[in-house]
Amino acid sequence: MVLLLGAVMIFGALFLVFAAAGGLTAERTGVSRSLAVLQAMTEAPDELKGELDRPFGERVLEPLYARLQKIGQRVTGADQVERIRQRLDKAGNPAGWSVERVATSKVLGVIAGLVFGALIARMLHEGIAIGALIVGAGAAFGWNAPAIFLYNVALKRDELMRKEIADSIDLLTISVEAGLGFDAALQQVARNTEGPLAMEFARVLQEMQIGRGRSEALRALGERTGIPEIKGFVSAMVQADSFGIPIGQVLRVQSREMRTKRRQRAEEKAAQVPVKIMIPVVLFVLPCLFIIVIGPAVPRIIGIF
């Protein structure tokens, strides 16, 4: 037993010694490999280092965006490009938005709509036809999402210009009657007022400075905005410029007409209030009123019958 125990202890000691030696050798090998990798990275060419040091957005996102932009340009035809440009002009050319970005957003919208529609169809566990319909609806919504956004921006912008046009024409009339020319008075309005109409007047002045005629710049303003009040103002200014009519008198008439139209528009909206308020009254107010008035009598009626 003593000899057997001694032999086991000797073999155990030898095993521990060889295991420790092997672990140290493996550790040294791992450290040497790490040092070799670090040395290779430090000795790598500058072009490879620059490629690895670039951020994730420049290495992955920008090439992906460029590829999607090419796909959007291929999908979008020439007629669609002109329509998108008109929508951007009507929306006031929001910062960072261009025809290429709108086309790329359409492609991204289709991809996101397909993924979102597939997830909804998978969650609903409906048939193949219903799932395909949901996925198609998601893709269609994603394709039209940028156009819906531009339409919403243009609608809000048109409403702001309708509110500002009467005051702007009043200031324009005062400036002309004070002795300024039409161009200088338009510059005063663009400088002393804020909002989309002031930006449009500033654009008219810029187009005139680069050599475009006054009538052409004003007509472009009417076509770009598409608002009937601005179109009437532009038509009156062009006719006054063509026939030599005093601009101050025309501006005063236009100012009176703009205020009359604004008052009529306010009266029209006020007349629409009873019709619009009828829906929430019928759907929400009257049911609650019926419950409060007739509710206590319902148990007695049930007991009688």
What's the pLDDT tens digit per position in 100-156?
Answer: 778 878 888 888 888 888 888 888 877 788 888 888 888 888 888 888 888 888 888
Chain centroid offset of residue 175 CA = 37
Residue from 159, 148, 163 nearest 87 by CA: 148
Q: Does residue 92 share a domain with residue 4?
A: yes
Q: Does residue 223 share a domain with residue 102?
A: no
Domain count, the chain: 2
290-294: average pLDDT: 86
Q: Does residue 207 share a domain with residue 80?
A: no
pLDDT at 21: 47
Domain containing 196 — which CATH number?
A: 1.20.81.30
- Looking at 244, 261, 278, the residue that finishes a domain is 261
Summary mean pLDDT of the chain = 77
249 is in which domain, residue-wise? Answer: 160-261
- Residue 125 maps to a domain: yes
Instruction: Return the C-alpha torsion angle 36, 42, 48, 49, nearest 10.
Output: 130
Tokens of 242: 């063509």
- Residue 18 maps to a domain: yes
- Residue 290 maps to a domain: no
- Residue 98 maps to a domain: yes
- Which amino acid is it at 155? L
Residue from 178, 170, 204 nearest 190 by CA: 204
- Which amino acid is it at 229? E
User: How far lies 175's CA from each of 123, 179, 208, 217, 252, in Å?
Assistant: 65, 7, 19, 20, 11
Q: Does residue 124 share a domain with residue 13?
A: yes
- Residue 270 maps to a domain: no
pLDDT bracket for residue 35 (50, 70, 90): low
Cα 130 to Cα 68: distance, rounded to the nearest angstrom: 29
Q: Does residue 141 share a domain with residue 12?
A: yes
Other Cβ atoms less than 10 A from the Cβ of 55: the count is 9
pLDDT bracket for residue 17 (50, 70, 90): very low
Q: Does residue 90 share a domain with residue 185?
A: no
Q: Does residue 207 share a domain with residue 169?
A: yes
Q: Does residue 164 share a domain with residue 78?
A: no
Tokens of 146: 């940028």
Q: Does residue 19 share a domain with residue 117?
A: yes
Q: Does residue 240 share a domain with residue 133?
A: no
- Residue 294 maps to a domain: no
Q: Is the pLDDT of residue 235 over 70?
A: yes
- Residue 15 maps to a domain: yes
258-271: average pLDDT: 87
292-303: average pLDDT: 83
pLDDT at 22: 47
- Looking at 114, 140, 156, the residue that finishes a domain is 156
- Residue 101 maps to a domain: yes
Q: Does residue 140 share a domain with residue 11?
A: yes
Chain centroid offset of residue 166 CA = 29
233 touches 254 (CB < 8 A)? yes
Of the ranges 39-43, 51-55, 65-69, 93-97, which is most confident? 93-97
pLDDT bracket for residue 27 (50, 70, 90): very low
